[in-house]
């Protein structure tokens, strides 16, 4: 393990050896011949500065732009020319140490990819037609191939279980420590661990399309896409270095003639200027901090597709949420069940179950899930008649039974049966389904797509930061307001068709400027792409994840609050770094002009500031403790308002 660490961070070793040589040269100075001391310092120069000098020269040739690495080499060389071997060597040593710290930060972030890739199996056991298994490369698997996964093995690829039951450790994907129970027809993901049972599964995605491969690809993209601030400083570096070289050139001559300095003093001050005016700390202000924040997010199940999106999240003033599957569970549940007193409750359950068990409608599936353990009798060979958009009917024991909307079973009879509940239950966000026997309505079922508990805390946390929250739903106003009030949403956009979501985003951006959109479905993808920051739920569709800028791998909206706080922390750290580095440069340059600082202190002040800004950026690797306290104090709920599109202001 230690050997691997040193292999990744060998620059620390080079800096350490350089430092030891400097100590040796300092101790032997005046004791051994001057040539031997110079040789020791030259060795310290080469060992400590070779990598930085090589990188600077190659980068200059490639981009045709000057950089701080060249300034450091020139400054160290200049100091040596005028006899300041020790100071020049110390400059190289501290510069190499700051470079090693920056490399460590980058490697720390890249290790998140390495961890992920180690979870991805390379082989799978393919089930042959003969019933035997053959170990094959995962990349050779095709859609609809059948594979065998034994207990303790990692599931090699995304697919669906065709036989067997097991519990699966999905922590590698969603961070959830509690195993998930999986059975026939359940979806499983590559990289997760089969804990308890033998399963046979059908391949549903190729190796390059799996959820795991998407995660790895997104983390890689995040590390290669710099933020706006990093891009600006990168462009600024070339111009700044040129300006410093011009000032140094002027400093080599002007003070001698204008201020009557000696040539030695003039050259010395020019070398000090070359050292202290280099923008090392400024250049290191952004990238290490951004990589640390991205690494922190990846470790906590938040994937940023680039530093620019992490930076943009800080400026978001409103968040639009898709309702179904994002703020709610996406699966309706039975909340109320009423049966006419003259009918047996169990018999009614049996008949409703018989009618709904073969329907693919989400409401029917919810009813079947709820009634499956309550029924007593089964009916076979029923002739079903499905009326799309209304309900289903069949004849059972010579009587016609219907399950569906009020209009399907008889509006008047449904209204009479439900009474005032037909008005109050929909206002609570519930959908009503009726059952009739002959011409009589005998039962009413209320269903509701229940809220995600974590959505309440996420919305509360965002509101505490002054961020407006808007729910976008195709449901009617009553349902939207009921769910919105439970969650604590500020505004509700009701009756919104999928194709209108892009218009919603345009309208919100006109009012608030920067707007985030959170969704999980195919119909959310265009809106996610149009938002300032698109956020996809990790268990949503592939298209939504592809269109989004940020992915919450665990379907936990509280991660959105964490991402928002992480973005603010990054902005704060970057501002601190930039302000500190500029202040240090200005102070050191002025001190040099007034001849009140020498080269050793200039080296320590300048390179010390570089190390400090990198260490300050590394703080973003630490978790945020503030959100845990906020979770215990959710905001007081209040009824949301209906937001009408094209409203000039809210």
Could you give the residue numbers annotated as active site? Answer: 322
Distance CA 478, CA 482 (A): 6
Q: Within 13 Å, how many C-alpha atoms sit on residue 376's CB side?
A: 5
- Decide: 204 and 159 in contact? Cβ < 8 Å: yes
Q: Are 316 and 515 in contact (CB under 8 A)?
A: yes
DSSP type of residue 325: I
Q: Cα–chain-centroid distance for residue 445?
A: 40
Contact between 364 and 485 under an 8 Å Cβ cutoff? The reply is no
- Measured CA to CA, the distance from residue 265 to residue 592 in angstroms comes to 11
Which strands make up the sheet holding 431-437, listed edge to edge?
328-339, 440-451, 431-437, 399-404, 391-396, 385-387
Rounded to 5 degrees, what angle do the CA atoms 479, 322, 623 make?
120
Tell me which residue of 89, 18, 95, 87 sits closest to 56, measured CA to CA.
Answer: 95
* DSSP element (H, E) containing 607: helix 599-618
Question: In terms of Cα–Cα distance, which of 248, 263, 285 is closest to 71?
Answer: 248
From CA 95, how far away is CA 314, in angstroms rounded?
32
| Residue whose pair of structure tokens reads 């006899």 in the numeric block | 83
Please report the beta strands in 350-501, taking only residues with DSSP state E, as ranges in sequence order.
385-387, 391-396, 399-404, 431-437, 440-451, 468-472, 491-493
Residue 316 and residue 514: Cα distance in Å, rounded? 5
DSSP strand E in 270-382: where?
Answer: 302-304, 318-322, 328-339
For the chain, the residue count is 650
Pairing label, strands 533-537, 515-519? parallel
Candidates 126, 140, 99, 294; CA nearest to 200 is: 126
Helices 68-81/228-251 angle, 10° precision: 30
Contact between 443 and 352 (Cβ < 8 Å): yes
Check the CA dihedral 490-496-498-503 and report its sign: negative
d(CA 518, CA 548): 9
CA distance linking residue 529 with residue 546, whole number of Å: 9
Quick one: residue 327, left, alpha or beta (phi over 0 = left, psi -120 to 50 = alpha)? Answer: alpha
- The secondary structure of 478-515 as a DSSP string is HHHHHHHHHHT-SEEE-S--GGGHHHHHHHHHHHHSSE
Would you say 463 and 469 are in contact if contact means Cβ atoms under 8 Å apart?
A: yes
The CA-CA-CA angle for residues 516, 462, 535, to 5°, reads 30
Q: Specify the DSSP class assigned to residue 327.
A: I
Ordered DSSP codes for 93-113:
HHHHHHHHHHHHHHHHHHHHH
């Amino acid at each position: 393990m230690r050997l691997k660490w040193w292999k990744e961070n060998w620059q620390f070793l080079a800096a350490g050896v350089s430092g030891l040589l400097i100590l040796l040269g300092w101790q032997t100075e005046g004791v051994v011949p001057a040539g031997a001391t110079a040789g020791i310092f030259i060795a310290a120069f080469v060992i400590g500065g070779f990598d930085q000098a090589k990188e600077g020269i190659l980068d200059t040739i490639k981009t045709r732009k000057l950089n701080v690495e060249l300034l450091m080499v020139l400054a160290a060389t200049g100091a040596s020319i005028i006899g300041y071997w020790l100071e020049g060597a110390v400059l190289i040593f501290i510069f190499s140490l700051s470079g090693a710290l920056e490399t460590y930060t980058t490697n720390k972030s890249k290790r998140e990819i390495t961890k992920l890739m180690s979870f991805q199996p390379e082989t799978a056991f393919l089930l042959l037609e003969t019933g035997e298994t053959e170990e094959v490369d995962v990349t050779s698997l095709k859609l609809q191939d059948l594979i065998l996964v034994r207990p303790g093995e990692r599931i090699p690829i995304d697919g669906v279980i065709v036989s067997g039951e097991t519990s699966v450790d999905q922590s590698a994907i969603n961070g959830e420590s509690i195993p998930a129970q999986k059975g026939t027809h359940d979806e499983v993901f590559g990289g997760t661990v089969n804990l308890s049972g033998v399963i046979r599964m059908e391949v549903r995605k190729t190796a390059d399309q799996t959820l795991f491969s998407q995660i790895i690809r997104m983390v890689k993209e995040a590390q290669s896409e710099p933020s706006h601030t990093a891009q600006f400083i990168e462009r600024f570096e070339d111009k700044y270095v040129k300006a410093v070289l011009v000032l140094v050139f002027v400093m080599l001559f002007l003070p001698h003639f204008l201020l009557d300095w000696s040539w030695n003093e003039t050259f010395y001050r020019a070398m000090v200027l070359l050292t202290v005016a280099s923008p090392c700390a400024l250049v290191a202000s952004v990238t290490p901090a951004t990589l640390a924040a991205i690494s922190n997010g990846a470790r906590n199940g938040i994937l940023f597709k680039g530093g620019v999106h992490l930076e943009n999240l800080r400026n978001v003033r409103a968040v639009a949420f898709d309702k179904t599957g994002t703020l709610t569970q996406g699966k309706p549940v039975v909340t109320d069940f009423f049966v006419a007193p003259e009918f047996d409750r169990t018999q009614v359950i049996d008949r409703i179950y018989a009618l709904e068990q073969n329907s693919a409608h989400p409401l029917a599936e919810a009813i079947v899930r709820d009634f499956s353990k309550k029924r007593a009798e089964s009916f076979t060979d029923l002739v079903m008649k499905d009326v799309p958009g209304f309900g289903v009917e069949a004849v059972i024991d010579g009587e016609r039974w219907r399950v569906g909307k009020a209009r399907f079973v008889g509006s008047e009879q449904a209204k009479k049966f439900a009474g005032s509940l037909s008005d109050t239950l929909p206002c609570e966000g519930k959908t009503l389904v009726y059952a009739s026997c002959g011409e009589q309505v005998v039962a009413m079922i209320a269903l509701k797509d229940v809220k995600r508990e974590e959505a309440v805390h996420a919305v509360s946390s965002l509101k505490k930061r002054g961020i407006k929250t808007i729910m976008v739903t195709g449901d009617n106003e009553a349902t939207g307001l009921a769910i919105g009030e439970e969650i604590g949403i500020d505004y509700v956009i009701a009756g919104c068709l999928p194709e209108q979501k892009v218009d919603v985003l345009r309208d919100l951006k006109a009012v608030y400027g920067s707007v985030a959109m959170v969704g999980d479905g195919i119909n959310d993808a265009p809106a996610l792409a149009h938002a300032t920051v698109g956020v996809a739920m990790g268990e949503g569709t592939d298209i939504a994840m592809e269109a989004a800028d940020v992915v919450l791998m665990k379907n936990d909206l509280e991660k959105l609050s964490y991402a928002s706080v992480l973005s603010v922390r990054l902005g704060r750290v970057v501002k601190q770094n930039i302000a500190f580095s500029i202040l240090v440069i200005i102070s050191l340059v002025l001190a040099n002009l007034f001849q009140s600082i020498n080269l050793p202190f200039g080296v320590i002040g300048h390179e010390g500031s570089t190390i400090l800004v990198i260490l300050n950026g590394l703080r973003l690797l630490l978790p945020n403790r503030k959100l845990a306290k906020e979770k215990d104090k959710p905001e007081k709920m209040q009824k949301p308002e209906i937001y009408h599109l094209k409203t000039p202001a809210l």
